[in-house]
Structure 1
Amino acid sequence: MRLQEACERFNELAGIKFGELFSPSDMEMIIINKGKTGQLLELALGMHLSSTNLDFEDGELKTNKCDALGNPRETVFITQISSVIDELINQYPFERTHLYEKISNILYVPVCKDGDPRTWMFLPSINIDLNTDKFSELREIWSDDYYSICRQLKEHIETSKDGYIHTSNGTHIQVRSKDAKDSRDNYHPIYSDTYGRYVSNKNHAFYFQKKFVYDIKRINQS
């Protein structure tokens, strides 16, 4: 499925309570599984999706738990950095990075999960395409964030007492240790060929901070 088609379908469902949108048997599954986002999207799109192919032919899917007004409850996971640590340390051009591939064309789908699951709902989704004039402001912000984070990570490696990377923040994007339901997943060390040593004792990943949500809503409405 192409991103724009999914965007249109989600927007047709925006504001409809899940109790009205899904069958009683589907709602039972949602309640039992605590409303796992992948299953909600699968049901809403009428598709069978696995955790490995939730993204679209021409872009990436990003979801977020929010309140009824679309205000974010959480940060938004982007991608892990372990396989691209040297790309970051050596400041590859932003447009050639794995990060850019992940964020250059996004379908952002907010899911309101306030109250009883029967009252949950999708809110209007936003297609963020960095190649359009409308989102040129974001392209500049994210490019600046990328280079700033690269510099911060390099400084941490070279000057911190443990020689490891630490949380690094931009305006919208940050790198921090990756939250995982299985704590063992947090302790996969990151090795840098550039430095010839481990530069972290646990997973780290890129995330969008909550400010990202407020700014894309503002830009989308302008």
Structure 2
Amino acid sequence: MKLEEACRRINKLADIRFGDLFSPDDMNTIIRNKGKTGQLLELSLGMHLSNTNLDFDDGELKTNKCDASGNPKETVFITQISGVIDELIQEKPFEQTHLYEKISNILYVPVCKDGRPEDWKFLPSIHIDLSLPEFSSLRDIWRNDYYSICEQLRFHIENSSDGFIHTSNGTHLQVRSKDARGASGNYHPIYSQIYKRKVSNKNHAFYFQKQFVYDIRHIDR
């Protein structure tokens, strides 16, 4: 499914209570696992869940917890960095990165989670296509954030007391820890071929910070 078609379909679901939108079984899934709302949105669009790199044929779906006015309550996960740490250290050109592939064409869907799960609802989506002139300012911000974060990560590796990467921030983008202990009780360290050692004792990921949401809502008006 193309992202533009998904945008039209999703906006038809906007402002409908989950209790009216999903089956009782789906609602039980949401109540048990509140992180499944993005997957349920994909299923409601007639999509099949998969492990492909992108959610749509030409872009990515991003859902985020918000209040009834669309103000964000959380940051937005983008992608993990363990597999591309050396690309970041070497500052691979932004437009050639895995990160750019994940954010160059995205559909942002705020999910209002005020009240009971039955009363939750999707709010109108925002389609961001970095190839369009109206999003050139976002492209510039994200490019600058990317290179700044690459520099910060290198600085942490070479100068921090533990030799590890740490939280690195731009205007919209952020790299911070994203890891949970596995069955063995261990985290998932990041190894750099460039430095020939571990540069973190746990996995990290790119996120959009909350400011991203406020700014794209302003652009979309």
Normalised by the length of structure 1, the TM-score is 0.92
C-alpha contact 1:190 1:201 (8 A) present in aligned 2: yes
Alignment partner, residue 20 of structure 2: 20
C-alpha contact 2:179 2:202 (8 A) present in aligned 1: no
C-alpha contact 2:66 2:111 (8 A) present in aligned 1: yes
Alignment partner, residue 139 of structure 1: 139
Change (3 A) 1:215 1:186: farther
In the TM superposition, 1:84-103 aligns within 5 A as 84-103=84-103
Alignment partner, residue 62 of structure 2: 62
Alignment partner, residue 149 of structure 2: 149
Alignment partner, residue 6 of structure 2: 6
C-alpha contact 1:65 1:111 (8 A) present in aligned 2: yes
C-alpha contact 2:145 2:173 (8 A) present in aligned 1: yes
2:70 counterpart letter in structure 1: G
Cα deviation, residue 51, structure 1: 5.9
C-alpha contact 1:186 1:203 (8 A) present in aligned 2: no
2:175 counterpart of 1:175: yes
Aligned residues: 221
Cα deviation, residue 186, structure 1: 7.1
In the TM superposition, 1:95-134 aligns within 5 A as 95-134=95-134
Q: Please, what is the CA RMSD of the aligned residues? A: 2.0
2:31 counterpart of 1:31: yes
Alignment partner, residue 204 of structure 1: 204
Change (3 A) 1:28 1:91: closer
2:201 counterpart letter in structure 1: N
Cα deviation, residue 106, structure 1: 0.6
2:36 counterpart letter in structure 1: K
What is the alpha-carbon distance in structure 2 between the residues aligned to residue 185 and residue 99 of structure 1? 29
Structure 2: gaps of 5 or more residues? none
Cα deviation, residue 44, structure 1: 2.4
Deviations 1:18-43 (A, max 9, x none): 22223344334433444622342134
What is the alpha-carbon distance in structure 2 between the residues aligned to residue 220 and residue 164 of structure 1? 38
Cα deviation, residue 159, structure 1: 0.8
Question: What SS does structure 2 have at the residue aligned with 1:47?
Answer: coil
1:140 counterpart letter in structure 2: D
Cα deviation, residue 103, structure 1: 0.6
Deviations 1:182-211 (A, max 9, x none): 586872111111111111111011000000
Question: What SS does structure 2 have at the residue aligned with 1:36?
Answer: helix
1:158 counterpart letter in structure 2: E
C-alpha contact 1:89 1:154 (8 A) present in aligned 2: yes
Cα deviation, residue 130, structure 1: 0.5
Percent identical across equivalent pairs? 75
Structure 1: gaps of 5 or more residues? none
